[in-house]
A and B are shown apart, each in its own frame.
Chain A
Amino acid sequence: MKKFKFGNLFKDSFTTLATVAILCLFLSPLLYMVFTSLKTKEQMTAQGSPIWPAQPATFTYQGTVLDMYNVPTDQGIKALALFKKGRTESQFIDPANLNAQPYTFAGSYRSLDRPWAFSPSWDNYSKAWNTINFPRLFFNTLALAFISLVGTIASCILVAYGFARFRIPGKNFLFTLLISTIFLPAAVTLVPTYTFFVKIGWVGTWLPLLVPTFFANAYDVFLFRQYFLTIPREMDEAAMMDGAGPFRILMSIILPQSIPVIVAVSIFHIVWSWNDFFAPMIYLSTREDLQPIAVGLNRFNGIHSTQPQLVQAAAMMTLLVPVLIFLIGQRAFMRGVVITGVEK
């Protein structure tokens, strides 16, 4: 057990504080996004505006909204509310001291700076939500993620079971072939596959994105296989003695012991699917109503790139679901990385 030492306390706090500093830098883009997504269009272009969402300060006096200005007075610059506008001189009241005489500023109030007050502009989110039909995009993304999840899990489990448990002529060759597909550049298969999907009329539908997931992929087969190999064969053999067929053994012996790897693969598949951009873009470019959110967000940026606050709000809505899934299931995630990562 660790003994308490003063030197350790120093090292511990130094290491931890240094890590906090690095982490703050690392995650600062998230804060940038949150802040920017809550700014008004005016603040985005205003010189010298604060980094946090703010609007020019106002003060409500007896039911009327007065604009605040930074007014030079005898006691230095003070934030005062414009009470009576004039071309050459204006009257201001001090919100902090309403009983005092209105202060008269000799000069144009238009030449004065305005102070900023914290004021998040939430309607960026409703604007982004409405202009691009986010509910539809969410639904599409979820549907694509879950249907392809079923395909991936089912097919990869079957194939991995085949590789893990059966003596098959040519198995080593087939397994090497499977793994080598990881190294094959996607561009090599792109055009014939695309042309094929055009010919059979699948372009503009979800089928090119979903159907291939039912034919297994190298990564997930590899993970399942590695996991299945760690499950003792004795139970298979006992079940076989009792007359269970291969399919029965998979369902009642292998799968119940494979929950961790199934969970890990599922989580990573959903994240991958939420992230997927290229295939949906080329197959659904003409069908905005069928696109998932990554493609929709890119389209949104194309339309509103001059309004960063809307783009950031849309980006925020895009990443919210995966980030929430991650934060809720972070334990399973971290275990998943270990399962998926260590087995090379």
Chain B
Amino acid sequence: MAAVATNSKKNGFFLWGMSPNSRREAIWGYIFLSPWIIGFLLFTLIPTVATLGFTFTNIVIVQEGAKPLAFVGLDNYTTLVKDSQVWESLLVTLKFAAIALPIGILLPIALALLLNSKHLRLANLFRTLFYLPYIIPFVAAIFLWSGMLNPGTGWINQALRAFGIANTPNWMEDVNWVYPSLVLIGIWGIGNDMMISLAGLQGVPTELYDAAKVDGAGFLTTTLNVTLPMISPIIFYNLTLGIVGLLQYFLVPLVLNSGTGQPGNATLFYNMVIYKTFFTYQNMSYGATMAWLLFLITLGITLVLFKTQKYWVYYAAESR
């Protein structure tokens, strides 16, 4: 991240210790920042704090009207710890992430390496066409894929049968195949990550490749020792946002099966349970508690990731 001009700290507090010029500049700065600051207070900070407040109360909206509001201390938290659905859905989310994350990180890079190959003709055309599905609204993509993956009439199983495989999977109706199905739907949108990786690959100085060639390194060695370290900031970026996104994953199964969790409870993702707690059971306090747990998990993982950065992320130079 580019360095930000440091503010000149003189004696005095905040705007008051400043020279008139600096003060004018700071005031103008705040005026320009004000849309975000107001929006942050209204739509982020206050709601987050309010949600935290909810976790100590018993807000449940039921048909007959709300129960009297009461402070319940840590009741929601003790329920949460003992609630098997919470832990099962968290496990579902983590299991799915364990499958989806490596693929979501490696496949765009692999595709970018292919599309960056000097042996590829019409490279720009290919880039455009591999990017294309990313543009498609995900609700449309889901219906498209649920047709493709239809056990009887879908093209995937028809192709498998054409290759002589009689025992074709039931894809989204089978507990063992539903995650691969969801991953497949996700893979369809890798175009953007692919292009970002590609831009990264093209930013690797050619001298490094020349040097590797002189040292007699083959494609694999060059990729592992030159290319990947050089694009590690992009891998880090995709990894961090990938984890944050996967922890909140639920929209695709929500559209697929309206949040029933079918097959079995395999698609009852953690965020799906939060959503249902809010909008189906209308148990606002408990949903809020679950949401805060998600927040803490996300925060924890993100902080750990940022700490590990220094071991594997290589920033060539801070200056640009």
**B147 contacts A23, C-beta separation under 8 Å:** no
Q: Does A341 sit at the interface, judged by CB under 8 A?
A: yes
Q: Does A135 sit at the interface, judged by CB under 8 A?
A: no
Q: Does A73 sit at the interface, judged by CB under 8 A?
A: no
Which candidate, B26-34, B80-88, B174-182, is the interface stretch facing chain A?
A: B26-34
Tell me, in angstroms, the Cα distance from A162 to B37 when the chains sit together. Answer: 11
Q: Does A172 sit at the interface, judged by CB under 8 A?
A: yes
- The residue in B122, B139, B298 that gathers the most chain A C-beta atoms within 10 A of its C-beta is B139
A residues near B148, Cβ cutoff 8 Å? 28-29, 32
**A27 contacts B133, C-beta separation under 8 Å:** yes
**B196 contacts A184, C-beta separation under 8 Å:** no
Tell me, in angstroms, the Cα distance from A172 to B2 when the chains sit together. Answer: 11
**A183 contacts B244, C-beta separation under 8 Å:** yes
Q: Using CB atoms, name the residue of chain B closest to A160.
A: B32
Tell me, in angstroms, the Cα distance from A26 to B115 when the chains sit together. Answer: 14
Q: Does B242 sit at the interface, judged by CB under 8 A?
A: no
B residues near A226, Cβ cutoff 8 Å? 2
Q: Does B135 sit at the interface, judged by CB under 8 A?
A: yes
- The proximity string for A residues 7-47 relative to B, scoring 1 for CB distances below 8 Å and 0 otherwise, is 01001101110110011001111101100100000001000
Number of interface residues of A (CB under 8 A): 96
- The proximity string for B residues 112-139 relative to A, scoring 1 for CB distances below 8 Å and 0 otherwise, is 0011010111101011111111011111
- A344 touches which one: B132, B153, B233 (CB < 8 A)? B233
Q: Does A323 sit at the interface, judged by CB under 8 A?
A: yes
Which candidate, A88-96, A102-110, A111-119, A292-300, is the interface stretch facing chain B?
A: A292-300
**B137 contacts A274, C-beta separation under 8 Å:** yes
Q: Does A251 sit at the interface, judged by CB under 8 A?
A: no
**B43 contacts A215, C-beta separation under 8 Å:** yes
A residues near B48, Cβ cutoff 8 Å? 184, 188-189
- The residue in B120, B127, B203, B237 that gathers the most chain A C-beta atoms within 10 A of its C-beta is B120
Q: Does A178 sit at the interface, judged by CB under 8 A?
A: yes
- A171 touches which one: B29, B129, B251, B295 (CB < 8 A)? B29
**A337 contacts B43, C-beta separation under 8 Å:** no
Tell me, in angstroms, the Cα distance from A274 to B291 when the chains sit together. Answer: 27
Q: Does A246 sit at the interface, judged by CB under 8 A?
A: yes
Question: Nearest-CB distance from A183 to chain B (Å)?
Answer: 5
User: Among residues 137 to 194 in chain A, which have CB atoms less than 8 Å away from a CB atom of chain B?
Assistant: 155, 158-159, 161-163, 165-172, 174-175, 177-178, 181-193
- A192 touches which one: B14, B51, B188 (CB < 8 A)? B51
User: Among residues 249 to 301 in chain A, which have CB atoms less than 8 Å away from a CB atom of chain B?
Assistant: 271, 274-275, 277-278, 282, 293-295, 297-298, 301
Which candidate, A61-69, A74-82, A311-319, is the interface stretch facing chain B?
A: A311-319
**A271 contacts B7, C-beta separation under 8 Å:** no
**B203 contacts A342, C-beta separation under 8 Å:** yes
A residues near B92, Cβ cutoff 8 Å? none
Question: Nearest-CB distance from A136 to chain B (Å)?
Answer: 17
Q: Using CB atoms, name the residue of chain A closest to B234.
A: A344
- B15 touches which one: A169, A221, A312, A327 (CB < 8 A)? A169
B residues near A316, Cβ cutoff 8 Å? 140
Q: Does B266 sit at the interface, judged by CB under 8 A?
A: no
A residues near B291, Cβ cutoff 8 Å? 185, 187-188, 190-191
A residues near B195, Cβ cutoff 8 Å? 334, 337-338, 341
**B26 contacts A166, C-beta separation under 8 Å:** yes
B residues near A294, Cβ cutoff 8 Å? 137-140
B residues near A323, Cβ cutoff 8 Å? 132, 135-136
A residues near B38, Cβ cutoff 8 Å? 215
Q: Does A214 sit at the interface, judged by CB under 8 A?
A: yes
**B138 contacts A167, C-beta separation under 8 Å:** no
**B248 contacts A187, C-beta separation under 8 Å:** yes
Q: A191-B287, A294-B139 are in contact. Are A215 and B128 (CB under 8 A)?
A: no
Question: Nearest-CB distance from A216 to chain B (Å)?
Answer: 4
Given contacts A192-B51, A337-B195, 10 further A-B contacts (CB under 8 A): A19-B126, A26-B130, A32-B148, A44-B153, A187-B271, A188-B295, A191-B287, A215-B43, A294-B139, A318-B137
**A: which residues have CB within 8 A of B?**
8, 11-12, 14-16, 18-19, 22-23, 26-30, 32-33, 36, 44, 51, 155, 158-159, 161-163, 165-172, 174-175, 177-178, 181-193, 195-196, 212, 214-216, 221, 226, 229-230, 246, 271, 274-275, 277-278, 282, 293-295, 297-298, 301-302, 308, 311-312, 314-316, 318-319, 322-323, 325-327, 330, 333-334, 337-338, 341-342, 344
Q: Which 7 A-B pairs have the closest CB atoms?
A: A215-B39, A166-B29, A162-B32, A341-B196, A168-B29, A189-B47, A192-B47
6 A–B contacts from the bound complex (CB under 8 Å)? A8-B119, A32-B155, A183-B302, A185-B291, A319-B141, A334-B131
**B: which residues have CB within 8 A of A?**
1-2, 4-8, 14-15, 22, 25-26, 28-33, 35-40, 42-44, 46-48, 50-51, 54, 114-115, 117, 119-122, 124, 126-133, 135-141, 143-145, 147-148, 150, 153-155, 158, 188, 192, 195-196, 199-200, 203, 233-234, 237, 240-241, 244, 247-248, 251, 255, 258, 271, 274-275, 278-279, 284, 287-288, 290-292, 294-295, 298-299, 302, 320
